[in-house]
Structure formats: structure tokens, C-alpha cells
Amino acid sequence: MTKASYCDAVLAGLQQYISTQESTGHRPISTGLILSIDRRETAAQAQETVALAIRLGRHQVIGIDLSGDPTLNSWHDWSSALNKARQHGLKITLHAAEVYAPEETEHMLQFRPDRLGHMCCLSPSLEQQLFSTKIPVELCLSSNVITASVKGFPDHHFLPFYKAGHPVVLCTDDQGVFQTSLSKEYAIAAQAFQLTEDDLWTLVLRSVDYTFLSKAAKAELTDLMQRRRHALSVAKQS
């Protein structure tokens, strides 16, 4: 199986799902494919992934991710491919600071990706540098605890990021590996950080704006969330 055939299979599955939902009168989930550059790969293989994303086009692939074993290779191996992706209008998200690597983390912050993932291991100066960028951070509570990136939920950096007003979005990482769901992650956050229902709704609505969807799709999704919030409020009062 090649990268191209793998993507073709995923896209075919997505299209089948969308067609089934629409044919039965149900709204499909808003989806956009993000191709990942694995840190195990060479710079040439990273370029191959970006070239595939460009060939498939923005209507099928909306972004590029850098992920994998954070101890492998260096930022300079990927920067050329990531710059090429940006030049072709693809959004960029980077797994960053999963281990303490201040020099690489600083390079990533200077690159100004559209999103960052994890950001567990930051010095105070790098944390302040992150806050100054306002780059949204994907936070995966269960993943970070299970992999021992943080000691426990109360120690998770969600809270200082949240209190500082930095853009954060709760994510699951690999749902199968970490045996979680997005609903479970929100429940964990509510309990660990004493978040109210209004706090959770604010997180949900803001997360829509941090997606790589079009402005029209974001507006539609925000409207849908607002209507569901209203319906739940009415149901609770009845």
C-alpha cells in the first residue's frame, strides 16, 4: 500500500459516509483530511507527503501535520516541506514540546503554524512566547497522563493555558489507544478543573474557530452548536 492508495481509501470511505448521511436526511460530520509527516521519515519522504496533499487539492486535504516519536530527527529535516505546504495554502499543525526540546520548540514557535499539539514541556520563557503568539493548542488530557507527559489531570497544563486566556481545544489523540472519546475528555476537564457548563460550551464554540474549515463551514457549525445548546437548555427547563 502506498501513501496515495491509503489516502484514496480514506477519501472513498468518507465520501460513502457523506452520501449515506445525506441520502437518509442526516447532516454528515464536517470533515477535512490532514496528512501527517512522520518524524521517522526522511526529508524526501516528507516532501512526498506534501506533494500528495497538493495533488489531492484543498477540497480533499486541508492541512499537514508533523507527528511521531519526538526524539527522532530535527526540525530542520521538515521545515522545507512544511514551508512548501504553507505556500500552497495548506494549514499546518505541529506536535510540539512533547519532550523537553527548547531549541526545536522555539523554531516551531517562530514558524507560526496554524495550530500546535500537546506543548507539555515548556520553560517559563517559552510558555510566555507561546502565549504571545495566540496559536491554538490541541490538548489531549488522557493521552498526556497515560504517556506520563504530565503527572495527572490536576497537574495538566490545560489550567494555566486556560487561565491565561490562551486558545485551547480539547482533543482525544488516538481514541483507540487511549480508550477515550471527546465527550470523556470534556468530562475529565470539567471534573479536574471545576469547569461549569457555560465554560464547556465556551470551549466547544471557540474550538470551531480553531478548525481548518472554511469561514462558511465554521459559521454553519457554530450555528448548529448554538441551536443544540438552546435545545438542551429548553429541555432542562421542561
Q: Which residues are catalytic?
A: 98
- Taking the alpha carbons at both ends of the chain, their separation in whole angstroms is 54
Cα 72–77–82 angle (5° rounding)? Answer: 115
Residue 139 CA, chain-centre distance (Å), reads 8
CA 169/CA 117 separation, integer angstroms: 10
Q: Where are the alpha helices (DSSP H) in the chain?
A: 3-23, 43-56, 79-87, 102-111, 124-133, 141-146, 158-163, 175-178, 182-193, 197-209, 215-237
